[in-house]
Structure 1
Amino acid sequence: MTTSIVRATCPHDCPDTCALLVTVKDGVATEVRGDPDHPTTAGVLCTKVSRYTERTYHKDRLLYPMKRIGRKGEGKFERISWDEALDTIAARLKEIAARNPQAILPYSYCGTMGLVQGESMAARFFHKLGASLLDRTICSAAGGVGYKYSIGARIGTDVEQFQNAKLILIWGGNPIASNLHFWMRAQEAKRRGAKLIAIDPYRSLTAEKCHQHIAPLPGTDAALALGMMHVLIAENLLDEDYIARHTLGFDQLRERVREWTPQRTAQTCGITVEEVEQLAREYGASARRGEPVAIRVNYGVQRTHGGGMAVRNIACLPALVGAWRHAAGGVQLSTSDAFPKNNQALQRPDLLQGPSRTINMIEIGNALLHEASPEFGPKIEALVVYNSNPVAVAPESPKVAQGFAREDLFTVVLEHFQTDTADHADILLPATTQLEHVDIHTTYGHMYMMANNAAIAPLGEAKPNTEVFRLLAARMGFDDPCFKESDDDIAAQAFNKDDVRAIHFDWDSLKQKGWQKVNMPEAPFADGGFPTPSGKCEFYCERMKAAGLDPLPAYVPPHESLASSPELGKDYPLAMISPPARNFLNSTFVNVESLRNTEGEPHLDIHPLDAAHRGIEDGNPVRIFNARGSFVAKARVTEKARQGLVVGLSIWWKKLTADGKNANEVTSQRTTDMGNGPTFYDVLVQVEKV
């Protein structure tokens, strides 16, 4: 028996991007564990990824190309050869492209975060084809844009510093479920005497373990940040030297927040005046004492109409109190821009011969139902889906499913399993998992470039995404040299080697070590140097004004709330959010039986007063509905959900629920104030006992 240990990387859409050690015995992966030497992974994996072999060798794994033999959505297929599959796809794409290549649309997101298997060869293929472009905004776009208006780039506090903070605000996230290795650092800070405050409409697993939980109404985080600024300025809890040297627009900001009294803030957010004042005072006073104060703001904040502005406002707070002076101070939303990615080399946008329309992935339901028009362009005739499961994860699911059910829509899906989306494919192609291919990764939660080595040979006839698009490119007659590059060739181009942050980068050595930290200062903005046009933290932002936005921190109310849409609230009086379930990652892992059994079944958390008003008792099946759709879940009557809010942990595969539906039946395709992001947590519903 031969045994080896292979260095790999978790590919999933999570800020932790763990370093993995895969044990392989006689060509079979027998164990996946965390690398104890990697500083952020520290040998610890989440429950999901620790069972990765269970997913890789799952009995329902797709292993062969198939073509549809039943109705769209019925999920009936028969096995075909790769030659037949590729010839069929190439013939249909050629036929459609001859009329108008923009009638072809790729649809993908972060089923893998890898730079090779994600958007490299696939992007090259669709650029050369001239297909419609996809605006990939379904997760982090709004917050990223808002953050960059204040800070200049998605750079912030290094996760390895959080254990040294004395006050940590965990704002809009549940890291126990979705950012475990940050939570380990926060727990260490707690052991050292730090105070943890959770700001979240829902009393999550994380909020329960913090010293304090503040539960604002969904979509009011921007107002809470404005109220904090009011108190900080009114009570002079400021670092005036840092403000004078490293910020822009303080005088205008002071005038703006004058109106955001604790009373107005509390009324807007649905919390107490004392909570507003105490939060600001603790934040400002801790910083005045010279203590590191840090904010971990997560993507829950930005999934409402004003989500971009909310993150922009929160990102202004550290500069007011000088928190950036400390390596353990400041704020982290994402570390994505710490990596000098070479997207030009990876994706080759120069292959696009002319302008092409862009379709927002959040609006895929509407887009698939559009007829051709001068405004929209050609009707979508072909859809190629990879690294995503839109029938389950895209908002306003009834329209998404209706679009995918079109018999005149030619749909290709690359997948590991027969998901809700795969059931609608005309051609279904088996993709490799992370254990079966080469990749290179950046992260958005720490500072390490990561390598993934193939641990085992592809199962069955599965192929990496890159190989599928290489073979399709050959059949389409694309003869550019870039379509012949190997996965290792692509990985070697991933970073700009002339950038000081990656001057030490070498793909061959990275594969051997598994990870390498980028060159970044411990305290990135201790002496200013923000990557904004002014070089300062911009309280007043000319770029926002040029984009037609308010250039100062402001409050943008939700699309749907009792305050902003009272008429709608008469029929649908409950706000709903659908944050991640602990045992799932978006819709990934839902079909892993051990994890699904742990999660149980779809639940809806509802406050006792809201439940009593509707005659609902704990354990009752309930129907959650609005004008867009409905789904059924089991009620959990609990004070974890604040009054006026219901919480449906997600995202379930629709085919694995009792009624064949999930929380996205009721979500909206409306977008955010900036970044064209999703508004998953900007929803009003009614709930009734079934």
Structure 2
Amino acid sequence: MTITQVRAACPHDCPDTCALLITVEDGVATEVKGDPDHPTTAGVLCTKVARYAERTYHADRLLHPMRRVGNKGEGKFERITWEQAIDEIATRLGGIVARAPQAILPYSYCGTMGQVQGESMSARFFHKLGASLLDRTICAMAGFIGYKYTIGATIGTDIEQFQDAKLIIIWGGNPIASNLHFWMRAQEAKRRGAKLIAIDPYRSLTAEKCHQHIALLPGTDSALALGLMHVLIAEDLVDQDYIDQYTLGFAELKLRVAEWTPERTADTCGISTNEVLGLARAYGQAARRGEPVAIRTNYGVQRVRGGGMAVRNIACLPALVGAWRHAAGGIQLSTSGSFPLNKPAMQRPDLLTTPARTINMTTIGDDLLRESSPEFGPRIEAVIVYNANPLAIAPDSDKVMRGFLRDDLFTVVLEHFQTDSADYADILLPATTQLEHIDVHHAYGHLYMMANNAAIAPLGEAKPNTEVFRLLAARMGFDDPCFQESDDQLAAQAFDKTHARAVHFDWESLKRKGWQKLAMPDAPFANGNFPTPSGKCEFYSASMLADGLDPLPCYIAPYESRASNPVLAAKYPLAMISPPARNFLNSTFVNVISLRGTEGEPRLDMHPDDCTPRGIADGDMVRIYNDRGAFVCKARITPKARAGLVVGLSVWWKKLASDGKNANQVTSQALTDMGRAPTFYDTLVQVEKAA
């Protein structure tokens, strides 16, 4: 028996980007474990990725190319050869290109976060075609834009410093489920005497284990940040020296937040005045004592109308109290801006020789149903889906389904399994998993460049994304040398090694070691040097003003709430959010039997005060609905959901739910204040006992 150990990296949409060690026995992966030497992974994996071999060898893996033989959505296919599949796809796309290349749309996101299997050869292919561009906004763009206006780039506190903080505010996230290795650091800080405070409308697993939980109303985070700034300034809990040296617009900010009294803030957020005062004082007084205070904010904050402004407002707080002076202070939203990615080399936008329109992936439901027009351009005639499952994850799901049901829409899906989206494919292609291909990764929760080596040969006839697009490029006569580059050649171009942070990047050595840390200071903004136009933390942003936005922090109310839309709330009185289920990652892992068995079945968490008047008992099947649609699941009565809020942990495959639907039946295609991102948590519904 031959036993080897292969270095790899977790590919999934998670901040942790764990370093993996794959044990291979006679060509079979027998164990996936965390690398104990990698400083952030520390040998620990989440329950999902620890079962990665189970997913790779799942009995339902797609192993051969297939062509649809039934109606769209039925999921009926016949096996074909790769030659037949590539020939049919190229022929169909070629016919569209001859008429209107922008009628072709790629649809992809973070099914893998890899720079090679994500957007490299595929981007080159679609640029060469002249296809429509995809605005990949569906997760984090609102917050990224708000953060960049304030800080300059998505650079923040290093995860390896958090254990030394004395106060940690976990704002809009549930790291036990979605950022385990940060939670390990937060727990170590707690053991060392730090106070942990969770801000979340829902009493999540994380909130339960913090010293304090502040359950504000969905979409009011920006108001809470304004109220905190009011108290910090009014009670002189700011670091005036840091403000004077390293910030811009403090005088204007002071005037703006003067109107956000603790009383107004509490009323807007649905919490007590004492909670506003107590949080501000805990944060400001700890900083005044010279203690590191840190904020870990996550993506739950930004999935509402004012999501970009919410993150901007929160990002002002560390500069106000001088928290950036400490390595363990500051804020982390994402570390992705620390990595000098070489996207032009990977994606080759120069291959796109004529201007192309951009389609927002969040509004795919509306866009697939649009006719040709001078404003929109040509009707979408072909969609190639890879690294994504739009039928499950895109909002306003009924419209998404109707769009993909179009008989005149040619749909190709690259997948591991027959997902909800795969059921609508005309051609279904088997993709490799992370254990079967090469990739290189950056992270958005730590500062390590990561290598993924192929541990096993592809199962069946599965192919890497890169190879599929190489074959299509060759079949369509694209003879540019870039379409012949190997995955190793692509990976070697992923980072700009002339940049000071990645100057030591070498793909071959990274493959051998598995990971390498960027050259970053421990406290990135201790002495200012923010990557903003002014070089300072910008409380006042001229860039925002130029972009038609309020240049100062402000409050943007949700589209759908009792306060902002009382007419709609009279009809649909309950706010709904749909945060990640612990055992799933977006719609990935839902079909892994051991994980689905742990998660149970789709359910809706409801406060007792909302159940009693509706005659709903624990375990009843309930119907959740609004003007966009409806879905059915089991009610769980719990005080974890504050009164007036229902929580549907997500994202379930529709085909695995009792009614063939999920929470995105009721979510909206409305976009955020900045970044054109989704508003999943800006949703009003009514709930009734199901028939």
Give the TM-score of the pair, scaled to structure 1.
1.00
2:655 is the counterpart of 1:655? yes
The corresponding residue for 2:172 is 172
For the residue of structure 2 that corresponds to 1:345, the secondary structure is: helix
Q: How does 1:382-401 map to 2 (within 5 A)?
A: 382-401=382-401
2:31 is the counterpart of 1:31? yes
Partner amino acid for 1:388? Answer: A
2:60 is the counterpart of 1:93? no
2:131 is the counterpart of 1:131? yes
- Paired with 2:601 and 2:91, the residues of 1 have a C-alpha distance of 43
For the residue of structure 2 that corresponds to 1:11, the secondary structure is: coil
Q: How does 1:134-153 map to 2 (within 5 A)?
A: 134-153=134-153
2:619 is the counterpart of 1:619? yes
Partner amino acid for 2:441? Answer: H
Q: CA deviation at 1:141?
A: 0.1
- Paired with 2:150 and 2:500, the residues of 1 have a C-alpha distance of 24
2:374 is the counterpart of 1:365? no
The corresponding residue for 1:204 is 204
Q: How does 1:336-347 map to 2 (within 5 A)?
A: 336-347=336-347
Q: CA deviation at 1:76?
A: 0.1
For the residue of structure 2 that corresponds to 1:47, the secondary structure is: coil
The corresponding residue for 1:186 is 186
- Paired with 2:318 and 2:426, the residues of 1 have a C-alpha distance of 52
- Paired with 1:476 and 1:225, the residues of 2 have a C-alpha distance of 54
Q: CA deviation at 1:354?
A: 1.1
- Paired with 1:354 and 1:456, the residues of 2 have a C-alpha distance of 41
- Paired with 1:381 and 1:49, the residues of 2 have a C-alpha distance of 37
Q: How does 1:72-87 map to 2 (within 5 A)?
A: 72-87=72-87
Partner amino acid for 1:259? Answer: E
- Paired with 1:373 and 1:15, the residues of 2 have a C-alpha distance of 41
What do residues 297-339 of structure 1 show as CA deviations (whole Å, max 9, x unaligned)? 0000000000000000000000000000000000000000110
What do residues 91-111 of structure 1 show as CA deviations (whole Å, max 9, x unaligned)? 000000000100000000000
Partner amino acid for 1:450? Answer: M
The corresponding residue for 1:122 is 122
Q: How does 1:89-488 map to 2 (within 5 A)?
A: 89-488=89-488
Partner amino acid for 1:172? Answer: G
- Paired with 1:405 and 1:8, the residues of 2 have a C-alpha distance of 38
For the residue of structure 1 that corresponds to 2:479, the secondary structure is: coil
Partner amino acid for 1:626? Answer: N
For the residue of structure 2 that corresponds to 1:469, the secondary structure is: helix
The corresponding residue for 1:582 is 582
- Paired with 2:689 and 2:100, the residues of 1 have a C-alpha distance of 50
Partner amino acid for 1:180? Answer: L
For the residue of structure 2 that corresponds to 1:377, the secondary structure is: coil
Q: CA deviation at 1:163?
A: 0.2
Q: CA deviation at 1:646?
A: 0.2
Partner amino acid for 2:198? Answer: A
Unaligned runs of 5+ in 2: none
- Paired with 2:621 and 2:81, the residues of 1 have a C-alpha distance of 45
- Paired with 1:409 and 1:677, the residues of 2 have a C-alpha distance of 25
- Paired with 2:597 and 2:632, the residues of 1 have a C-alpha distance of 18
- Paired with 1:460 and 1:486, the residues of 2 have a C-alpha distance of 21
Identity of aligned residues (%): 78
Q: How does 1:679-690 map to 2 (within 5 A)?
A: 679-690=679-690
What do residues 112-141 of structure 1 show as CA deviations (whole Å, max 9, x unaligned)? 000000000000000000000000000010
- Paired with 2:174 and 2:337, the residues of 1 have a C-alpha distance of 23
What do residues 620-659 of structure 1 show as CA deviations (whole Å, max 9, x unaligned)? 1100000000001111111000010000000000000000
- Paired with 2:452 and 2:669, the residues of 1 have a C-alpha distance of 35
Cα-Cα RMSD: 0.3
The corresponding residue for 1:547 is 547
2:70 is the counterpart of 1:58? no
For the residue of structure 2 that corresponds to 1:375, the secondary structure is: coil
Q: CA deviation at 1:483?
A: 0.2
Q: CA deviation at 1:610?
A: 0.5
The corresponding residue for 2:7 is 7
Partner amino acid for 2:339? Answer: F
Partner amino acid for 1:284? Answer: G
Q: CA deviation at 1:613?
A: 1.4
- Paired with 1:619 and 1:462, the residues of 2 have a C-alpha distance of 42
Q: CA deviation at 1:674?
A: 0.1
Q: CA deviation at 1:444?
A: 0.2
For the residue of structure 2 that corresponds to 1:413, the secondary structure is: strand
Q: CA deviation at 1:81?
A: 0.2
Q: How does 1:512-523 map to 2 (within 5 A)?
A: 512-523=512-523
For the residue of structure 2 that corresponds to 1:528, the secondary structure is: coil
Partner amino acid for 2:174? Answer: N
For the residue of structure 2 that corresponds to 1:107, the secondary structure is: strand
- Paired with 2:85 and 2:209, the residues of 1 have a C-alpha distance of 52
Q: CA deviation at 1:515?
A: 0.1
Q: How does 1:531-546 map to 2 (within 5 A)?
A: 531-546=531-546
For the residue of structure 1 that corresponds to 2:451, the secondary structure is: strand
- Paired with 1:384 and 1:448, the residues of 2 have a C-alpha distance of 31
2:632 is the counterpart of 1:632? yes
For the residue of structure 2 that corresponds to 1:4, the secondary structure is: strand
- Paired with 1:452 and 1:353, the residues of 2 have a C-alpha distance of 33
Partner amino acid for 2:579? Answer: P
Q: How many residues align?
A: 690
What do residues 419-453 of structure 1 show as CA deviations (whole Å, max 9, x unaligned)? 00000000000000000000000000000000000
Q: CA deviation at 1:512?
A: 0.2
Q: After the TM superposition, which segments of 4 or more aligned residues of structure 1 sit over 2 Å from their partners?
A: none
- Paired with 1:48 and 1:175, the residues of 2 have a C-alpha distance of 14
For the residue of structure 2 that corresponds to 1:51, the secondary structure is: helix
Partner amino acid for 1:506? Answer: D
- Paired with 1:109 and 1:82, the residues of 2 have a C-alpha distance of 24
Partner amino acid for 1:589? Answer: F
- Paired with 1:689 and 1:301, the residues of 2 have a C-alpha distance of 30
The corresponding residue for 1:504 is 504
- Paired with 1:15 and 1:613, the residues of 2 have a C-alpha distance of 41
Q: CA deviation at 1:276?
A: 0.2
The corresponding residue for 2:667 is 667
Q: CA deviation at 1:350?
A: 0.4
Partner amino acid for 2:257? Answer: V
- Paired with 2:137 and 2:36, the residues of 1 have a C-alpha distance of 34
Partner amino acid for 2:338? Answer: A
Partner amino acid for 1:497? Answer: K
Unaligned runs of 5+ in 1: none
For the residue of structure 1 that corresponds to 2:48, the secondary structure is: helix
- Paired with 1:602 and 1:156, the residues of 2 have a C-alpha distance of 35
Partner amino acid for 1:242? Answer: Y
- Paired with 1:297 and 1:150, the residues of 2 have a C-alpha distance of 15
Partner amino acid for 2:4? Answer: S
Partner amino acid for 1:535? Answer: G
- Paired with 1:97 and 1:267, the residues of 2 have a C-alpha distance of 56
Give the TM-score of the pair, scaled to structure 2.
1.00
What do residues 223-249 of structure 1 show as CA deviations (whole Å, max 9, x unaligned)? 000000000000000100000000000
- Paired with 1:555 and 1:204, the residues of 2 have a C-alpha distance of 25
- Paired with 2:498 and 2:382, the residues of 1 have a C-alpha distance of 40
